[in-house]
Amino acid sequence: MTDQDKRYDLPQSHLPRAWYNIQHDLPRPLPPVLHPGTHQPIGPDDLAPLFPMALIMQEVSQEQYIEIPEEVREIYKLWRPTPLIRARRLEQVLDTPAHIYYKYEGVSPSGSHKLNTATPQAYYNQQEGVYGLTTETGAGQWGTALSIACDMFGLACEVYMVKVSYQQKPYRRSIMQTFGANVYASPSDRTNSGRAILAKNPDSSGSLGIAISEAVEAAATSGGKYKYALGSVLNHVLMHQTVIGLEAIEQMEMAGEFPDIIVGCTGGGSNFAGIALPFVANNLRQGKRTHIIAVEPAACPSLTKGVYAYDFGDTAGLAPMVKMYTLGKDYVPPPFHAGGLRYHGMASIVCELYDQGLIDARAVSQLETFKAGVQFARAEGIVPAPEPTHAIATVIQEALKCKESGEKKTILFNLCGHGHFDMAAYDAYLSGRLEDFEYPAEAVEKAMAALPVV
């Protein structure tokens, strides 16, 4: 490789053969997950109505690496390994001595990182003889990925899409339907939890917490015909995403550098974990000192403004209780365009990393993120999804700090998806119709009052 190389590609023979499990290396183990009814630690049998046993075992596993089935690796080869790209043109625009790299997950069939976990989830459910899967989706990236994976493994797919995104992103709905999924705007009148929300607020714009409630209820009341799939938050989901970081470590070696800073956007935690966890392991095991930053929306700042407490993963209180940084299960975030980040809580693993001081967290406003997204697109030729523009805004901040200090730092971030289905958001920004949403302290305070007592 030369100093002018821009793209670093791994041969498919270097596709990871195992996922990395951070639970093996955590200095302090994760808090137990509690049953929503009894508030007691749950066991495998409690989760069996929702998940296949293989995924339940991965959820609680302490093994450092878990082998990727060959059937899954063969599908991964449709897009993996994904490229690592040096953002040389962005560096020039910023006039920074920093070296900026991004791992580009938008090359997958679904256009984002979500297929990294949708594929094994569909595989394990098919192996257990499940008929179909239910799920929720915010911006539509996860629903798109699961609809593709279900189609690949011959499973039915039902998607409850947050209503504001259902309305903002009609073509996401179309692509899910193209792969055979049934898509419903959430809250819907198809479930008890949806009908209860609509009775209180017929004009509800929805939230990931509400959509999760509907999808969980639909699976739990299907008599075993359907199981539930989640695109973020859970341990096994974050573990499946570590193929991103495992590849990136090898690609950074190809580039002859190692990251001083890693940045990823966070909503539920999956794409951030995918790029970050293997590097957290290097910090823990090898004494590396990479500064790892999780970036969230200022309008839904669970890490930077939330409380670390047990809360339900969904609005109706049907899902297990997890200790996490939360804004309260009843909090409905404003309808900002990064729909994949509109979640009241955060993955247990990401929360523990933050609580143990192993990662940093920041919040950025919507207008700042779209400004960064446009700047990146004009420099690098890729229109990013609204979610990773949060990471890009922070990368730009860090690169400009390097310009001020003269430090030559290496910055790596996860460009977790393209924005080809999000142009309505860019249109609103470019026409001056996009607005910032202030942190709604009163709404969060009200939701916090309903935290369960454990």
pLDDT for 249 equals 98
Rounded distance between C-alpha atoms, residue 381 and residue 263, angstroms? 20
Encoded amino acid at 357, one letter: G
**What is the percentage of the chain residues whose pLDDT exceeds 70?**
97
Asked if 112 contacts 416 with a C-beta cutoff of 8 angstroms, the reply is: yes
What tokens appear for 275 in the block? Answer: 């790029």
Higher pLDDT, 299 or 98: 98
The CA–CA distances, whole Å, from 344 to 37, 170, 298, 300, 376 equal: 20, 24, 12, 7, 28
367 assigned to some structural domain:
yes
Average pLDDT over residues 231-260: 97
43 is a domain residue: no
Helix and strand numbers (H, E) in the chain are 19, 15
Q: What is the pLDDT averaged over residues 195-220?
A: 92
Task: Judge whether 276 lies within some domain.
Answer: yes
Does 163 map to a domain?
no
Q: What is the pLDDT of residue 332?
A: 75
Q: How many domains does the chain have?
A: 1
Is residue 252 domain-resident? yes
3 falls in which pLDDT band (50, 70, 90)?
low
- 3-state SS, residue 444: helix
pLDDT at 2: 52
Q: pLDDT per residue over 34-79, tens digit each?
A: 998 899 999 888 899 999 999 999 999 999 999 999 999 999 999 9
Q: What is the pLDDT of residue 253?
A: 97
User: What gap in Å lies between CA 253 and CA 363, rounded to an integer?
Assistant: 30
Lowest model confidence (mean pLDDT) among 11-20, 300-309, 444-453 = 444-453
Q: What is the CATH number of the domain that holds 260?
A: 3.40.50.1100
| Residue 437 pLDDT class (50, 70, 90 cuts) | confident
pLDDT at 340: 62
Q: What is the mean pLDDT of the chain?
A: 93
Question: Domain limits at 353?
Answer: 7-14+69-111+236-448
- Rounded to 10 degrees, what is the CA torsion of 296, 301, 304, 310? -120
* Sequence-distant (≥ 6) Cβ neighbours of residue 195 within 8 angstroms: 187, 189
pLDDT at residue 338, as a whole number: 60
Across the range 425-437, mean pLDDT stands at 89
The conformational region for residue 432 under phi > 0 = left, psi -120 to 50 = alpha, else beta, is left
The half-sphere exposure of 392 on its side-chain side, counting CA atoms within 13 A, is: 33
Tell me the pLDDT band of 411, cut-offs 50, 70 and 90. Answer: very high
Burial 310-326 (b: 16+ CB within 10 A, else e): bbbbbbbbbbbbbbbbb
Which alpha helices (DSSP H) does 179-265 contain, by range? 192-200, 208-220, 235-240, 243-255
Query: Is residue 204 one of the residues assigned to a domain?
Result: no
Asked whether the predicted pLDDT for residue 205 surpasses 80, the reply is: yes
Q: What is the pLDDT of residues 326-354, one digit of tens each?
A: 999 888 776 666 656 767 889 999 999 99
pLDDT score for 256: 96
Contacts (Cβ under 8 Å, ≥6 apart) of 313 = 209, 212, 233, 319, 320, 321, 322, 329, 345
pLDDT at 164 over 80: yes
Is residue 191 a part of any domain in this protein? no
pLDDT, tens digit (0-9, with 9 covering 90-100), for 86-143: 999 999 999 999 999 999 999 999 999 999 999 999 999 999 999 999 999 987 889 9
Arithmetic mean of pLDDT, 140-162: 96
Q: What is the pLDDT of residue 363?
A: 95
Assess if residue 154 is contained within a domain.
no
Q: Are 276 and 248 in contact (CB under 8 A)?
A: no
Higher pLDDT, 5 or 111: 111
Sign of the C-alpha dihedral, residues 223, 228, 234, 235?
A: positive
